[in-house]
Structure 1
Amino acid sequence: AGRALRAGRALLATTASRAMAAPGPARAPPATAGIVVIGDEILKGHTQDTNSFFMCRRLHALGVKVARISVVPDEVEAIADEVATFAARFTYVLTSGGIGPTHDDVTFEAVAKAFGEKVTPHPELVALVHKFFGKTDAESPEMKLARIPESSRLNYGTDGHTGSTFKYPLVSVRNVYIFPGIPTLMEHVLDGLAHLFRSDCTHFHSQNIYVAADEVLIAPVLYEANAAFQGRVSLGSYPDWANNYYRVKLTLESESEQDLEEVHRFLVEKLPPGVVVPVVTDCVSLAAMEVYGLAESGT
C-alpha cells in the first residue's frame, strides 16, 4: 500500500495490491497501532498467524489506524527491542503470544526489559493462579503467569453477550497491551476490551468500485484522482485476474463521507465508459431476502 501505480509492463507484471495515499491538510490524525506477533512457530511456518488479521480488522472498525505489523522470535532481546520501538512511535502496541507457563513464554520479561523494569509477582494474579490452578508454589510453572512488569495494569474485559466481567485480566504496561497467542482467547479478550481502543473522533468510511478493465487502462485516471483527493481519500487498486466479471477492485476510504462521495463521482465520471460494473458481494443473502419478500407478499 502507498505505492503509486505504474503504467505499462511494470504495472501488468505486478500482482501485489497497491494503495495510494498522501499527507493531507490539517486534520486530527487517527490513533495508530503497531502489532507485534511473537513466536518461533510463526517464523518457521509451523503455524499460520491469524491474530494480526483479526486485530487489524477490529482496530480499523474502532477508528484506529494500524501502521505496522512485526513478527519476532521467542527471544527477550528481540521482543524488547521491537516493543520499545513501537511504543515510542504508535498510540497503542498490541502483542500476541509468548505468555504462558513454559520456557519459551518470555513476553512479560521482554516487555519489562523494554521499559527498564523487572517482573514481579502481582498479588491479584497470584490469587487467580491459586484459584484456577490450585498452585501456591512461587516456583511452579503456573505461577509464571503471575510475574509481570512492575508498572503493569490489569484490565478486565466484559463479555458482550452476557455482560459479565471476565475472570482473568489482560496485562498492559503503559501503551502496550499483552494479548494471548491462542486465537480464540485473543479474539475474546480484544472484543471484551474494545473500549480501550475505540476512537470517538475517527470513523473510517469506505466504498468499492469494480472495474472490468486492466489497471494499465485506468492508471491515468487513478493518478488524476489521487492528485485531486490526496490526503482526504485513500485510493487502493487491487487486480483480480482470476475473476471473469471484473478485473480490478478500487477501494475508497476516508474519514469524511462527503469526500468519499466526491471521489466516487469523480471516478465514475472519469473512468472509460462501460468499465464500471455492479457487483453484489453477498448475493446469497440478497436472494434469500427476495424469496422471503415474495413469500410474504403471496405472489
Structure 2
Amino acid sequence: MATPRKNVTAGIIMIGDEILKGYTQDTNTYFLCRTLRSLGVRVSRISVVPDEVMTIAEEVASFSTRFNLVLTSGGIGPTHDDITFEAVAQAFGDKLQPHPELEEAVRALGGTGQEKLVQVPSTARLHYGTDPETGVPFRFPLVSVRNVYLFPGIPELQQRVLGGLSDLFRNEGMQFHLRELYVTLEESSIAAILTEAQAHFGRRLGIGSYPDWSSNYYRVKVTLDSDEEAAVEEAQAYLSAHLPPGSLVPFVPNAVEHAGEAVYRLAQSGSSQRPGSRCRFSTSVASPPSQSWSSF
C-alpha cells in the first residue's frame, strides 16, 4: 500500500548578530533547505534574527503556529550571547531548568564552562541520534520544544545532527523531483516561452530561470521542480519542442569532480575498460555528509 501524500512545511530561523552584521557567511540555510527538501519537507519561510531574547521568542511563537516544523540554528552554546533556550522557553511560557540527562552528558564531555548547556525549557524533549555511517550513538542530544528543533549553528555539528536524526523529519508521503536544463540563449529571448510553459502546467510544476554570466557554455539554467515526476518529464518534452532547435545543451555541473568519483568507483570495482569501450559517468545529488557526533 502506497504511503499517503502529505504536505509538510518547515520554517527556518537563523539566529545570530554575526550573520546580520556580515561577520559570518551563512551556509546553514543552504544545507537545511537542501536536506529538508530531500526528505520531502517543503521549506516555506526563512528568517534571520539578532541575539535578542524577545525577538527570537516572538519569531519562534509565530513560526510554530504557521508551519509543521520549525528549525532554529545557533545560540545554544555556553557563552553570554547564546540565548536560544531562554528565548524558546519564553515563547511557550516555560521555565528554564537543568535537565538530568543533559547534566550527565556535559559531565561526560568533561571540561569547564559548559553549565549553560543543561538549562533548557521545562517541556523540552531530547533526541539521541546515531551516526548512519558508523552506528555510533551521539553523546549529546538534539533538544526540541513542541514542533521547534534547536540545532547548533556550527555547520559541521549541524550536518552531523541532521544526518543522524533525519528520520525525525522525513516525510514518506512526499518526494520532490528536479530537472535542470541548460540553454545557450539569453534569458530575454526565452522569457515568453517559459511564461507560456508555466501557464500550461500551472500549479503542477515550478519553472525557474537563472542566468549565468560566468559560463562560456550556456547562458541560462532552467529548473523544473515538482512533486509529480510525470509533470517534470512532460515539461522537459514541452520545452524541448518549443525552444529553438539546438538551444538546449548537455551540461554536467562539477564535471571534473564527478569524473574523479567515477574513475575511483571504477578502480574500486576491479573492472577495466576494454579497448574501444565507452566510460559513462552518471551524476546524482550527493547526500549531506554525516559523521559521528560522538565527540560532542
Q: Distance in 2 between matches of 1:280 and 1:29?
A: 32
Counterpart pick for 1:57 among 13, 31, 34: 34
Q: 2: distance between equivalents of 1:80 and 1:295?
A: 60
Which among 17, 22, 32 is matched to residue 45 of structure 1?
22
Tell me the amino acid that sits aligned with residue 261 of structure 1: E
Kindly indicate whether residue 123 of structure 2 is the aligned counterpart of residue 146 of structure 1.
no
Cα pair distance change 1:211/1:298, threshold 3 Å: closer
**1:197 corresponding residue in structure 2:** 169
Please state how far the C-alpha of 1:226 moved relative to its aligned partner: 0.6
Once the 2 structures are TM-superposed, how far is the Cα of residue 109 of structure 1 from its aligned partner? 0.5
Confirm whether residue 96 of structure 1 aligns to residue 68 of structure 2: no
Partner of 2:19, secondary structure, is helix
Partners in 1 of 2:6 and 2:171 — Cα distance?
11
SS at match of 1:101: coil
Of 240, 251, 254, 2:223 maps to 251
Partner Cα separation in structure 2 for residue 128 and residue 223 of structure 1: 55
Report what 2:62 is aligned to.
Answer: 85
Q: Does 1:158 align with 2:158?
A: no
Q: Name the SS of the counterpart of 2:107 in structure 1.
A: helix
Give the structure-2-normalised TM-score: 0.85
Cα drift, residue 274 of structure 1:
2.1
Q: Following the alignment from structure 1 to structure 2, what is the Cα–Cα distance between the partners of residues 97 and 197?
A: 19
C-alpha contact 2:40 2:174 (8 A) present in aligned 1: yes
Unaligned 5+ segments in structure 2 are 277-296
SS in 1 for 2:136: coil
Q: Does the residue aligned with 2:77 lie in a helix, a strand or coil?
A: coil
Deviations 1:253-299, CA, capped at 9 Å, x for gaps? 11111111111101110112221112133433448858969953145
Map of 2:146 onto structure 1: 174
Q: Deviations over 1:118-164 (max 9, x none)?
A: 111111112222232367xxxxx422111101111000011011112
Deviation, structure 1 residue 28: 5.1
State the one-letter code of the partner of 1:117: D
Q: For residues 58 and 260 of structure 2, what CA distance do their matches in structure 1 show? A: 52
Structure 1 stretches of 5 or more lacking a match? Answer: 1-26, 136-140
What is the one-letter code of the residue matched to 1:182? Answer: I
Cα separation, 2, equivalents of 1:42 and 1:257: 37
Structure 1 Cα separation of the partners of residues 212 and 80 of structure 2: 44
Counterpart for residue 70 of structure 1 = 47
Q: CA deviation at 1:30?
A: 2.4
**Paired amino acid for 1:104:** D
Distance 1:46 1:201, change over 3 A: same
Amino acid at match of 1:218: I
Q: Is the Cα contact below 8 Å between 2:8 and 2:42 reproduced in 1?
A: yes
Letter of the 2:100 partner, please give it: P
Whole-angstrom distance in 2 between the partners of 1:247 and 1:296 = 35
Q: Distance in 2 between matches of 1:298 and 1:47?
A: 51
Letter of the 1:242 partner, please give it. Answer: S
What is the SS of the residue equivalent to 1:249? strand
In the alignment, structure 1 residue 269 sits paired with structure 2 residue 241: yes
What residue identity is the alignment partner of 2:88? V
**Count of residues in correspondence between the two structures:** 268
Match of 2:9 in 1: 32
3-state SS in 2 of match to 1:296: coil
Between the aligned partners of 1:210 and 1:87, the Cα distance in structure 2 is: 39
2:230 alignment partner AA: Q
Q: 1:117 to 1:296 in 2, by over 3 A?
A: same
Instruction: Find the counterpart in structure 2 of residue 260 from structure 1.
Output: 232
User: How big is each residue's C-alpha offset from its partner over 1:78-131, in whole Å with a ceiling of 9 and x where there is no partner?
Assistant: 110111111111111111111122111110000011111111111111222223
Choose which of 224, 229, 242 in structure 1 pairs with 2:201. Answer: 229
- TM-score normalized by the length of structure 1: 0.84
Aligned to 1:183: 155
